[in-house]
Amino acid sequence: MPNIRLLLLLPAAILAGCTSVTQAPEFVARVERIERTRLEHSVRALDEIGPRPIEDSAATLRTTTWIREQLEEWGYVVTEEEVTRSAQTGRFTAQVRRADAGPGAETTEIELPASFASYGPRVRAAASRRLRADGWDVEGYSLSGGGRTAAPHIAPNLFAQVRGTEHPERIIEVSAHYDTVPGSSGASDNSSGVAVVLELARVLADATPRKTIRFCFFAAEEAGLLGGRVHVENITRADAPVLEALINLDSIGHATDAPDSQDAPLRIPLIAWIPTTGDFITVIGTNASGWLGNVFEAAADAYVPKLNYYSVNRLGGYFADARRSDHAPYWDADIPAIFLTDTGEFRSDTYHTHDDTAETIDYEFLHRVARATAAALLELTVR
């Protein structure tokens, strides 16, 4: 099946700047070092740790220790950046009625983790879907006795890098967040992204790029994109090195060739018509980062032609759902960034639930995404 591109009403001359890539034999050899079995091993290792919201300091420590150990085994020096989140207290409840009880049915309350109160509308939407699946109609949510405690939750962003040989001050980042929402071990959201970034770090450990490649593992994405926000605040200081671009991977583990398996936040004829079969990776960017999306897509075409992708690499800034990960603070700071995603709840009913497990991941799809990302990094930093 050919790759799927976004249809636009605007002239191609305005939006295009299409990029073509010719395979480099040395890049092919390195891309082929990406191992599907290692990707699966990483997803399952994180799955065994279980849910790891920033509130769970023990799970966070197990996760960051495991990531650090992998990176240090390949010779990296791992650095940290502290992320702090005020603690949420109180009793958070959903007001529900039995869906089959008919008009006038009594409303009752179901208690949810207090932290859900501050995780935003997408977490509540996922909770609502799960409650509806259990036979409830959701009337609303409330937080009673809520407040802020004096003891904040703290977790680190983790970094490792391959220093550039010619322009070490010019940096290309690739990122994934390692935290999850409470109650979910997050195989797709986002063990899948972490697994890919780790595998990229492994196969590029002995590379000699002209520019620096930085591997980023962000904390607290599920708590308001805090990890990404903290990092962008630090890298936009006047004396910081030049950050040229970011490739952010979040929820990249689900794919299916089943008909009508792909939903969409909206479909606009001739402008944004997302396919109805969920067998592609979505490439999302702003107009300023369109060139970066072009590089990824050209690298995918050249090195991983079996990877289907859907290109929104210049229009993401116009849609709220396109901002739902750690790339959004980069866009706000005018740093080119693209977001690679399987579209989360628009494709999978396990999003933000306890059913987001390692058994639900399409590892062949994940392997293709990893190889395409590796090829794009090589094109960006070595060629």
326-370 tens-digit pLDDT: 999 999 999 999 999 999 989 998 998 899 999 999 999 999 999
How far is residue 298's CA from residue 305's CA, in Å, rounded to a whole number? 10
Residues 261 and 115 grouped into a single domain: no
Residues 339 and 365 grouped into a single domain: yes
Give percent of the chain above pLDDT 70: 89
Which of these three, 132, 148, 164, is where a domain ends? 148
| Strand partners for 170 | 242
Supply the pLDDT for residue 113: 73
Structural domain range at position 179: 4-86+152-381
Residues 131 and 265 grouped into a single domain: no
* Predicted confidence (pLDDT) per residue in 287-340, tens digit: 999 999 999 999 999 999 999 999 998 888 888 889 999 999 999 999 999 999
Residues 171 and 103 grouped into a single domain: no
pTM over cut 0.85: yes
| Strand partners for 124 | none
- The CATH number given to whatever domain includes residue 369 is 3.40.630.10
Residue reference for tokens 């904390």:
219
Domains contained in the chain, number: 2
Residues 251 and 282 grouped into a single domain: yes
Which of these three, 129, 148, 167, is where a domain ends? 148
How far is residue 95's CA from residue 117's CA, in Å, rounded to a whole number? 14
Residues 231 and 99 grouped into a single domain: no
Supply the pLDDT for residue 239: 75
* Predicted confidence (pLDDT) per residue in 75-116, tens digit: 999 999 999 987 766 777 889 888 888 777 788 998 887 666
Does residue 1 register a pLDDT over 80?
no
Residue reference for tokens 């990092």:
231
Structure tokens at 51: 């849910």
Average per-residue pLDDT in the chain? 89
Angle between helices 36-49 and 57-73 (to 10 degrees): 150
Residues 23 and 55 grouped into a single domain: yes
Residues 292 and 376 grouped into a single domain: yes
